[in-house]
Chains A and B, each alone.
Chain A
Amino acid sequence: MPDHILETRNLTKEFKGFTAVNDLNLQVERGSIHALIGPNGAGKTTVFNLLTKFLQPSRGTIQYNGIDITREKPADIALRGVIRSFQISAVFPGLTPRENIRLALQRRTGGSFRFWRSERTLLALHDQADQLLAAVGLTAYADTVTGEMAYGRKRALEIATTLALEPELMLLDEPTQGMGAEDVAQITELIRQAAADRTILMVEHNLNVVSTLAQRITVLQRGTLLAEGSYDEVSRNPQVLEAYMGSTHA
């Protein structure tokens, strides 16, 4: 029997008079890279926000490692090891890249409420932060202002920050959105490395990235599951072709 790290049952989200996600049963296998694709308005981002608890489902359940997390808050699941990224690059723009990563590392030290301690107690985290910066090729930018970095570097920093928490499950929301070809290749490689010892679920538009990375693909259309399988299986599915191209003969 396959080992599912994340599983949804009859997941439904209704906004006023509009069903964005309808009865979705999704299973993410441990250790895999799983991609969620679909045409615009298919409900990918809604699913994503449901899984990360930024939205509350109308019906259905979400299980993580066999535990029901349907009613938990975003910070709770983060503490369980589910860390997400955002579509618009999520960094702390006023801090330096090193401080960005340090803030993630700091959470695991458990001393974050200590307002009477000096910042110097955080210097111990710098080695680890620098290693992560090196891993994403940002060593030269460690002490610059994050907000002034190029977009691709911000995304790389975001991935490094996420990795700092050593998540068991990483949820990536369109990691290569708005990037040039060169950056896409770099981020793809980073994701592949990150996936070595964890599970990744990503929403992605770029089918090139999906085909190179994802072992399993779920195609959504109008909030329901249209097809599931490997890239080859899915790309030959006539329903998928129709959803994307408007016709099977395109």
Chain B
Amino acid sequence: MKARYWVCLFIIGCLAPFLIYPVFVMQLLCFALFACSFNLLLGYTGLLSFGHAAFFGSAAYLAGYLMTVAGLTPELAILAGTVCAGLLGYLFGTLAIKRQGIYFAMITLALAQIVYFIALKADFTGGEDGLQDIPRGKLFGLINLETTYRIGHKSLELNLYFFIFILFCLAFWLIHRTIHSPFGQVLKGIRENEQRAVSLGYRVERFKLLAFVISASLTGTAGAMKALVLQLASLTDVSWHTSGEVILMTLLGGLGTVLGPSVGAITVVTLQEKLSAAGSWVTVIIGAIFVVCVLAFRRGFVGELGRLLKKSL
């Protein structure tokens, strides 16, 4: 994509909190980052993980815990969440990567369920209640993220918003760079023809493992960001529903496209928000949309658009 499109998107991101409820935009950014990290694995390496909620949730819990109990500043809490998710990703990856296809997915699911169980039973996670009212604290100990600015009749959390937005941009850039790096080329090769990549002398398991760790780490960043934004870390964050939801977001937006996962995440989270009055019908409606999407445009929103414009988006 051309630089001017990126500039447009950046400007939209800067203006968004003035037009839409900022916490909601931040929530969108967290899930968009989650889906982008997931796409690095499924879209560019061809690995279907069914346990990504483990990374998302454990980072949310850890960041929340460190901010509440240890009084850590937000940037350190997010860093800790990222590292924790990365280490967990290394563990999951080491155990799962030797398996292919559905077996890989099942192992990641099983491991994620163990994390869920720990979150349910351990003391520091707050069990069914989760961690609530996580303080947002002061960025670098200086900038108060609780501060709101009155503009018109609205009060906006702009400090927090721009911190989250910049963090999202950095993480998004890192994913984009990874995809378009020498390493990313090898990942595409593995996705396209794993046997051939092996016969060219690539030890594909190591490449897959690194991709898995990068994906898990950035998923952790997204999870920790979410804990900071919603001031909440709960069992939902580590449940398999969340693992499924991120797959849905990625497929809906467009697998293996740069913008697809973000579009998918925005669609799903917005629908959940707007339809929340409909209660459990939300799941049915989103399910129906997904079915229509799979039948009508298999490449996802962005994938189909890219095909029409003959561009890779």
Contacts and interface: CB of A to CB of B under 8 A. Distances in A.
Most interface-central of B189, B201, B202 (chain A CB within 10 A): B201
Interface residues of B, number: 29
Interface in B221-278: none
A18 interface: no
Given A91-B196, A103-B200, A161-B200, A118 B177 contact: yes
A92 B177 contact: no
Most interface-central of B178, B184, B185 (chain A CB within 10 A): B185
B100 interface: no
B180 interface: yes
Interface of B: 174, 177-178, 180-186, 188-189, 191-193, 195-204, 206-207, 210, 214
Contacts of B181: 114-119
Interface of A: 52, 54, 73-75, 78-79, 83-86, 90-95, 99, 102-104, 106-107, 109, 111-119, 121-122, 161, 165
A222 B181 CA distance: 48
30 contacts: A54-B195, A73-B203, A74-B198, A75-B201, A75-B204, A78-B198, A78-B200, A83-B200, A86-B196, A91-B196, A94-B188, A99-B185, A102-B185, A103-B186, A103-B197, A104-B200, A106-B182, A107-B200, A107-B202, A111-B182, A112-B183, A112-B185, A113-B183, A113-B207, A115-B177, A116-B177, A117-B182, A118-B177, A118-B180, A122-B182
**Which 10 residue pairs are nearest across A and B when measured between Cβ atoms?**
A78-B201, A115-B183, A92-B192, A90-B196, A115-B178, A119-B180, A75-B203, A74-B198, A115-B181, A79-B201
Most interface-central of B196, B200, B201, B210 (chain A CB within 10 A): B200
Contact of B196 (A79, A92, A94, A115): A92
Contact of B182 (A79, A83, A85, A121): A121
Nearest to B204: A75
